[in-house]
C-alpha cells in the first residue's frame, strides 16, 4: 500500500491518498529533477509527479504522508466530501465585481450629496 499527499489550498492541509500497489521510494529509473527552482524552492503544483490513477482519498493531515504528488489537472478546486469547495462570495471574479459595484455606488452617492450641497448654496 502506497501513500501519497496532495496539498489542498482550500483547507491548508494535505489530502492523503492510498493505492493498493506497493511502491518503494526511489524506484524511478531516473530521479525527477524539478524544473525552474526559484529562491524558495520548487512549485508543488507543477514540479512534482501527478497522483496515480485509481488513488483513493483517505483523509486530511497537517503533515504529508508518503510521497508528495499533485492532482493531475494542476491547480484546481479540490473541494471535499464536506463541501469546502469554496463559497460563491469568495470566488475571485465575484469579489472583484462586488468591489466594482460598491465603488460605483459610493462614488455616485458622494456625487449626489455634493450636488445637494451645491443646490442649497444657490438658493
Q: What is the pLDDT of residues 28-49, one digit of tens each?
A: 666 666 666 777 777 767 778 8
Q: pLDDT tens digit string along 74-101? A: 444 444 444 444 566 667 888 889 899 9
pTM to 2 decimals? Answer: 0.50
- Rounded to an integer, what distance in angstroms lies between the CA atom of residue 114 and that of residue 43? 51
Q: Could you please report the per-residue DSSP string of 32-73?
A: ---SS-BTTB--TTTSSPBPPTT-EEEEEESS--SEE-B-TT
Ramachandran sector of residue 24 (left: φ over 0; alpha: ψ -120 to 50; beta: rest): beta
The answer to whether 67 and 5 are in contact (CB under 8 A) is: yes
Backbone CA torsion sign across 43, 44, 45, 49: positive
Amino acid at each position: 500500500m502506497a501513500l501519497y499527499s496532495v496539498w489542498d489550498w482550500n483547507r491548508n492541509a494535505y489530502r492523503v491518498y492510498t493505492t493498493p500497489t506497493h511502491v518503494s521510494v526511489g524506484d524511478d529509473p531516473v530521479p525527477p529533477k524539478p524544473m525552474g527552482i526559484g529562491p524558495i524552492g520548487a512549485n508543488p503544483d507543477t514540479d512534482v509527479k501527478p497522483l496515480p490513477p485509481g488513488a483513493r482519498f483517505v483523509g486530511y493531515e497537517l503533515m504529508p504522508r508518503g510521497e508528495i504528488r499533485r492532482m493531475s489537472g494542476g491547480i484546481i478546486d479540490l473541494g471535499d466530501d464536506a463541501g469546502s469547495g469554496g463559497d460563491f462570495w469568495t470566488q475571485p471574479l465575484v469579489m472583484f465585481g462586488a468591489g466594482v459595484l460598491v465603488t460605483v455606488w459610493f462614488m455616485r452617492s458622494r456625487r449626489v450629496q455634493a450636488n445637494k450641497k451645491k443646490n442649497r448654496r444657490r438658493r
